[in-house]
Structure 1
């Protein structure tokens, strides 16, 4: 073994995972869900404002950590890129930036536009690159397929949530179309894998919650594009609800698993279905959906607080930046 490999093994920076960007995704979703909840209750934006500031700090830390890893240990980044499971998490980088742009729309629209214009080409590059690797010469096994493979499609759909308010409607239609098409394809593949093949490894079982994200975020993008809650939007929202119920049944077994960063997969999908409930309630005047949104928001608050606590404990115990 070379000296360079020995150095990588000793340096914790080499083990900073690309999955850290799912933390940013979750916190962005949490901030937006808090805003929607505060609007539904007629409150000010004090709590969501605090969450916004905290999210910006975490985003900066995560981005700097992974940039430092790329500069100091490029081989470790390449190894993640070549990993059959971790590959799917790379678009979380551009998704986090798109979500930060969405979060910044109201307080700083100029900055939001700049972030969106950087994030969207990166999202396209990562989507094409990841899908090209999936269908390339390398053979993937059914055990490599997890709900994390939805991440590229979810990222494409999110583009419209920021793109439509910024005036980039046609670009938003392109990314939403791509995202929904890939969602349908991968939904079939993932359900086949979950039903007919071996169970997910313990570390990846929390990614089951990602099943909620595509229809809930798809609902938000569709409503932004068409300007109303139509029949297809209702299909997407109710699809998100049934996946939420399915995940809720699995939740007791998931909570018995040892903690890992994969548990952050619970955060963004729950935020997505929460925001979708508030948007539906506002658009149709449905008090029931507002109540559902408030209930989901309460659950999301518990999830975020628990994740932050468990992550802090894992960091204190040196259980995060370690070799797999």
Structure 2
């Protein structure tokens, strides 16, 4: 008799953070496509199409479930919108659309364009809403701050990656400027929080990897906007590379963590720095960058497959979508 009750309680507890999974899968898809170009690999089958299609299917499934939650339990969605941490994961929906537009760009522009337009428009709305909440909040405290707050900022910097090839250059500069502005502000706050306040709770520790994403994505977007490598691009790339090394140096702390859905925060930043490294190679900076990108891609692939298995196990064991999780 208790099992149906447990199942009935899962939908209102379906977390918006699930969309971080789509970010990771999209990042892997885009990184695989970049690796095929960098290493001149011509596969007998269209791996990119299959991976993009699978990722789009996961996104569609998660979106349908969350829309069902919105229809049946609107109060639960409203609670997430008011939560100081969960609030920021709503931007993962629009970021997922932007990443899917990048993944589909070399496959079909007719698919990529509406995904980009929807994602960019939605992300601007999320950014305006989130910042308005930050400004007018009445209950946020310093310990609520964690790198998940970067998700709205990262999405803005991501817009030019598909926006420039699609012909939206001025719009891309607009979003890129927002992303760089927010990155500088939030980076200062997060280091203040890390250095002078209580440690980040265990379940949010994996979100530290999100620190890598803004400079890595910013580098990729900047190259799209200016078309060449310059000192500003070098600063962005090496900032991302330093943060990656810094986080790898903390590996002993990460391996001790229990599994949480926040583990998906490892994936997209790894994809971003992998793609950025391979892009450095394409910009004429030598073979080491190609192999740095390939090594990071290998780690990313293992992490994604491991997280897929752990997430499915947690879902079937009712350790996700439960009250208080």
TM class by smaller structure: over 0.9
Q: CA deviation at 1:251?
A: 2.2
List runs of 5+ in structure 1 lacking aligned partners: 1-6
Q: Distance in 1 between matches of 2:79 and 2:255?
A: 30
Matched, 1:297 2:289: no
Give the alignment partner of residue 18 of structure 1, picking from 16, 19, 23.
16
Q: Is the 8 A contact 1:9 1:323 kept in 2?
A: no
Alignment of 1:259-278 (within 5 A): 259-278=259-278
Equivalent residues in 2 for 1:66-81 (5 A)? 66-81=66-81
User: Secondary structure of the equivalent of 1:42?
Assistant: coil
Contact 1:8 1:73 in 2 (8 A): no
Q: Deviations for 1:80-112, whole angstroms, at most 9, x for unmatched residues?
A: 011111111111111111111111111110111
| Alignment coverage as a number of residue pairs | 318
> Any conservation in 2 of the 1:28–1:99 contact (CA below 8 Å)?
yes
Distance verdict in 2 for CA 1:48–1:104, change over 3 Å: closer
Aligned to 1:281: 281
Residue deviations 1:254-302 (CA, integer Å, cap 9, x gap): 1211101100000000000000011110111511100111111111111
SS of 1:284 mapped into structure 2: coil
Question: Which segment is superposed worse, 18-27 or 37-46?
Answer: 37-46
Could you list the structure 1 runs, at least 4 aligned residues long, displaced by more than 6 angstroms after superposition.
Answer: none
Mapped to 2, the partners of 1:299 and 1:49 lie a distance apart of 22
C-alpha distance in structure 1 between counterparts of 2:25 and 2:120, whole Å? 20
SS at 2:257 equivalent? coil
* SS of match in other structure, 1:135: helix
The answer to whether the 8 Å contact 1:206/1:265 transfers is: yes
In the alignment, the residues of structure 2 paired with residue 193 and residue 110 of structure 1 have an alpha-carbon distance, to the nearest angstrom, of: 44
Alignment-derived partner of residue 36 in structure 1: 34
> 2 CA distance for matches of 1:63 and 1:279?
32
Change in Cα spacing, 1:56 to 1:137, as seen in structure 2 (3 Å) is: closer
Contact 1:8 1:14 in 2 (8 A): no
CA contact (8 A) 2:52 2:100 kept: no
1:246 Cα offset (Å): 1.0
* TM-score for the superposition, normalised by structure 1: 0.95
Distance 1:161 1:137 in 2: 33
Q: 2:236 and 2:265 mapped to 1: Cα distance?
A: 20
> Counterpart in 1 of 2:54?
54
Distance 2:153 2:162 in 1: 16
Give the aligned partner of residue 132 of structure 1.
132
Once the two structures are superposed, the pairs formed by residues 111-126 of structure 1 within 5 Å of their partners are 111-126=111-126
Structure 2, unaligned runs of 5 or more: none
Q: CA 1:299/1:8 → structure 2, altered by over 3 Å: closer, same or farther?
A: closer
Conservation of the 8 A alpha-carbon contact between 2:281 and 2:290 = yes
**Are residue 162 (structure 1) and residue 126 (structure 2) matched?**
no
Is 1:256 matched up with 2:243?
A: no
Q: Distance in 1 between matches of 2:251 and 2:62?
A: 28
- After superposition, where does 1:201-212 map in structure 2 within 5 Å? 201-212=201-212
TM-superposed deviation, 1:58: 0.8
Q: CA deviation at 1:115?
A: 1.2
